[in-house]
Structure 1
Amino acid sequence: MAELQSVWGWQPALYLFLGGMGAGAFITAAVLYFFDKKNNEKTICFATWAATISLIVGLLLLLSELTNPLRGMLLWQSFSNGSSWMTFGAWAVFAAVIVFGLMALLSTRKLVVAATKKWKKFSKVRSQARNVLAALGIVLGVVVAVYTGVLLMSAPGVPLWNTLLLPCLFAVSALDTGVALVEIIAVTVERKQVGPRKASKAHRLLKRFVVVLVLVELVVLFVFLNTMLSGSSDNAAVAATGALSADLLMWGTLAPFFWGLVVACGLVLPLVAAIVGLAARSKSSDSLAVVGASGALLGGCALRFLVLMAGLHADVVANAVATLIH
């Protein structure tokens, strides 16, 4: 039986989840802002704060995994290679925290009212600033979502991680979990503010996002695992390790969690909830949307943990096989 990866602990797994979810939540909030900010102000405010906090907490968890966290906080000083994806992604995360935070502040009603009383032109400046921050935040959010997968992809000698399909999978999952978080926020805070008729426009838009994203994620996940199982690498040890990692997820010790949490709870449940909600067009579908969104969050978190645990090192597997042969 293959031994699960244990070098990376639970902190990086939670960072991959929180960072991706935060990026996805901001992108979703920014889309709602351009779609209909008047009727979704509360959702936008709470979603942007949730995105900012998720990203910050995720970064703190990642730093806590380092031997010397204070040294980790100075890592940006060594980011001098402008052509490196790691450098570009790290600066994007840093910029995203600032942009997300500013958007959250400018979406907070009490702060806006207080600032408007002191500066009459604040409302106009705020509107222009939010337009820029929302657009910029979408770009940074996409980069951050992809970067969560690039972090793992850059770790050498782990075939399950060393593929461009992993950033693609994590990026789609980030958008999926981000939409799920905003769905829960929208149902919770918007219902009393604008009533079911006006809120339903945003809710139906989110449900359509869920359907598209879940279907895309299912395809990417299938291609990702099929590529590992097929052993497409020319290196026999790498191909065998990738296949073993995929086997662990699909049929091995991690299979119950993969099929139960990731597939059934994280993908099938949100998809069914969204389709039923779109067909029902009723107020009661909001409760079903929360159930589906909760499943998406649980499944998205489980996906990061399982991919981390199944990340077997090619050299370790090759050495184990060699020992058995001899």
Structure 2
Amino acid sequence: MFGILVVAYLFLGGAGAGAIVLACLVDLAWVREPFGMRARPSFDEARPSERIVAFGLLVGLAAVALGALCLMFDLGRPDRLDALLTSAVPSLIVVGAYAVALLVACAAFLTAVRFAYVPAVPRAAVVVVEVAAAVSGSVVMLYTGLLLQSAVGVALWRTPLVPVLFALSSLSCGIAVLLACARFAGPLDACAARLARRFARADLAIVALEAACAALFAGLALASDHPARAASAESLVAGAHAALWWVGFAGCGLVAPFALEAASARMRPDLARATLAVAAVLVLVGGFCLRASVVDAGGHRALELEETSDAFALRLE
């Protein structure tokens, strides 16, 4: 049903949106990077924490834009995307398209004012755009899961646990992007080091919630009376897609990062920084494997089971 380009869009859109949302929230609540005539004359003089935010926005923008390109190529015709943006009929797809477009525009502005010194832009304008980016990015994080949940004829995806699971994964991937950016932001001062430790602690909680949500999603699907949903879940946890689910998602995306992030709290700063960078890479691998396994397990279900069960449900109604 959905190919690799759609999986790439779901991953890149979710991870990029998560990185942009978190970068904006961190700047609004913690960093408060100066702008306007009183700001420093160039990005070279930015503090390490400001560099983390700037690089996070840049990487997030690149990921969302690349994800949008993957979706365009999957549609096959660019005019279809134009039709979505100009449609007068409200729908989930139209809302998602506008959210992605707004997020790209906001992130492009926020990236430009950081990497190209623009003294005419006041801090108040940056705050307004950061709030808009955080809101539109949150919509995109939810939308990537809602897109699957709204798909007709795929029982495995028809549960609110899918958008919740994808949103949690997007947040975790967003933290991973910022932790990776911290690795390349130059020497960290005390403020940036504290920020990295807070990212790691926050990700420990998110990974735990993600694991609980994934277990509930798989368990309810396996116990479902809907034969197609149960068959898809069986394929996910013990069939053709089990390697992606257990090794890629559970192992690389949950267990290993949790252990590394927990252990980093007891390491010396330089070793902790390298450890968190490794954990960030594993989180991103797990985020992709989550989407690939869930999409493939639902998309390659037994069609006759779906049709039989749906017809039976219609007769009961």
**Structure-1 separation of matches of 2:186 and 2:83:** 41
Report the CA distance between 1:46 and its aligned residue.
1.3
TM-score by length of 2: 0.87
Aligned to 1:42, which of 29, 51, 66?
A: 51
Normalised by the length of structure 1, the TM-score is 0.85
Q: Would the alpha carbon gap of residues 79 and 64 (structure 1) be closer, same or farther in structure 2, given more than 3 Å must change?
A: farther
Change (3 A) 1:200 1:317: same
CA-CA distance at 1:167 after TM superposition: 0.7
Letter in 2 for 1:218: A
CA contact (8 A) 1:86 1:150 kept: no
Does residue 106 in structure 1 map to residue 113 in structure 2? Answer: yes
- The corresponding residue for 1:208 is 201
The 3-state SS of whatever aligns with 2:156 is coil
Shift in alpha-carbon separation, 1:309–1:79, aligned structure 2, 3 A: farther
Q: Is 1:225 the counterpart of 2:196 in the alignment?
A: no
Residues 63 and 73, structure 1, Cα contact 8 Å, conserved in 2: no
| 1:256 aligns to 2:243 (yes or no) | yes
Cα deviations by residue, 1:29-69 (Å, 9 ceiling, x for unpaired): 11321312454111111111111111111011011111323
Q: 1:198 to 1:190 in 2, by over 3 A?
A: farther
RMSD of aligned C-alpha atoms? 1.9
Equivalent pair of 1:43/1:185 in contact (CA under 8 Å): yes
Q: Please point out which of 276, 292, 310 is paired with 2:297.
A: 310
Cα gap change, 1:72/1:137 in structure 2, threshold over 3 Å: closer, same or farther?
closer
For residues 12 and 132 of structure 1, the distance between their equivalents in structure 2, rounded to whole angstroms, comes to: 31
Q: Does the aligned pair in 2 maintain the 1:157–1:314 contact within 8 Å? A: no
Asked if 1:69 is matched to 2:78, the reply is yes
- The 1-side partners of 2:217 and 2:148 are apart by 14
Deviation at 1:72, TM superposition (A): 2.7
> How far does residue 196 in structure 1 lie from its aligned partner after superposition?
4.7
- What secondary structure sits across from 2:182 in the alignment? helix
Whether 1:32 and 2:26 are equivalent positions in the alignment is: yes
Q: Equivalent residue for 1:144?
A: 140
- Residues 311-326 of structure 1 mapped to structure 2, 5 A cutoff: 311=298, 312-313=300-301, 315-318=303-306
Contact 2:151–2:158, Cα closer than 8 Å, also in 1:
yes
Name the structure 1 match of 2:42: none
Distance 1:87 1:71 in 2: 11
What is the rounded CA distance, in whole Å, between the counterparts of 2:302 and 2:99 in structure 1? 31
Q: How many residues align?
A: 293
- Give runs of aligned pairs for residues 1-326 of structure 1, distance below 5 A: 7-34=1-28, 35-38=30-33, 39=47, 40-81=49-90, 84-108=91-115, 111-112=116-117, 115-116=118-119, 122=120, 125-191=121-187, 195-231=188-224, 239-280=226-267, 282-311=269-298, 312-313=300-301, 315-318=303-306
User: 1:279 deviation in Å?
Assistant: 2.9
1:163 Cα deviation from its structure 2 partner: 1.5
Partners of 2:259 and 2:130 in 1: CA distance: 30
Q: Matches of 2:270 and 2:25 in 1, distance apart?
A: 23
SS in 2 for 1:157: coil
Cα distance in 2 for partners of 1:12, 1:42 equals 31
Do the aligned residues in 2 keep the contact of 1:172 with 1:216 (CA within 8 Å)? yes
Aligned-partner residue type, residue 221 of structure 1: A
Counterpart of 1:48 in structure 2: which amino acid? L
Alpha-carbon distance in structure 2 between the residues aligned to 1:213 and 1:104: 27
Q: In 1, Cα distance between the equivalents of 2:103 and 2:308? A: 43
1:313 Cα shift? 4.9
- In 1, are the aligned partners of 2:84 and 2:94 still within 8 Å (CA)? no
Q: Which amino acid aligns with 1:283?
A: D
